[in-house]
Amino acid sequence: MQPEVCIEISNLSKKYHKADHFSLDKINLTLNAGDKFGILGPNGAGKTTLISIICGIIPATSGEVLYQFPENIKQQIGFVPQDYAFYPQLTPIQNMEYFGALYNLSKKETQARIDYLLPILGLEGVRNKKINSFSGGMKRRVNLGIGIIHTPSILLLDEPTVGVDVQSKHAIMQLLNELNDGGTTVIYTSHHLAEAEEFCNTIALIDHGKLVANDSTKLLLEKHNAVDLQSLFIQLTGTEYRDV
């Protein structure tokens, strides 16, 4: 049985204004429903640009992104950026109420999601405290809660565990696995290659804006005779510094 395609990316390119080079250069990818899809690459490879185009945050220079659900795309997509995307002077509840309203959730629907998510995210005890007093790990978990408040079909995450403690990382990855088990397609970038190897069933590796490898994690390791994802990464992208 063929997997159901949820996003088809065709000849996607992006060149920023006044830039000398393309940030993305004719990227072609097929993302299947139910995937745990890792977009990996060195600093400046184009990972965040690709995710931002898929989310509709920035336009492509050329090419297209075709969705399984052409109508109401933004309602179907959740996005958790690397930078914090909430109001730090507000509480977790106030932030979730605000973003729930942006997604046209009713007050009843938003409250039900808040009551469900806060205990899972370990935030029940601080639900009425201002986020600016939170640790980095707690802020990451608030970021994730906001990104899934509307129960998206596709969840995109840009470095969701960067700079967090071991407990927060475990909680975040466990929740992502549970969401995926429930049918959510997860598209994820990270520099934590061991984490990505354990989590992702499919990998796209990009470098200098070009797609250099794309297949199931298992098949990529076998094809390149790599013992782990880190050795594959070095093999395909080199060892030079990427100071961007």
3-state SS of 99-147?
Answer: HHHHCCCCHHHHHHHHHHHHHHCCCHHHCCCCHHHCCHHHHHHHHHHHH
pLDDT at residue number 107: 96
**Amino acid identity, residue 99?**
F
pLDDT at residue number 68: 85
Q: Is the confidence at residue 93, as pLDDT, over 90?
A: yes
- Token digits of residue 47: 């990972």
β-strands 24-32, 5-14 pairing: antiparallel
CA 10 to chain centre: 20
pTM passes above 0.85: yes
3-class SS of residue 229: helix
Residue pLDDT, tens place only, 37-67: 999 999 889 999 999 999 989 999 999 999 9
Dihedral class, residue 147 (left if φ above 0, else alpha if ψ from -120 to 50, else beta): alpha
3-class SS of residue 201: coil
Q: In the predicted model, what is the mean pLDDT of residues 58-83?
A: 89
pLDDT at residue number 70: 64
Confidence of residue 201 (pLDDT cuts 50, 70, 90): very high
The string over 156-193, giving b where at least 16 C-beta atoms fall within 10 Å of a residue's C-beta and e elsewhere, is bbbbbbeebeeebbebbbebbeebbeeebbbbbbbebb
Q: Give the mean pLDDT of the chain.
A: 93
Domains of the chain: 1-69+155-239 (3.40.50.300), 83-152 (no CATH)
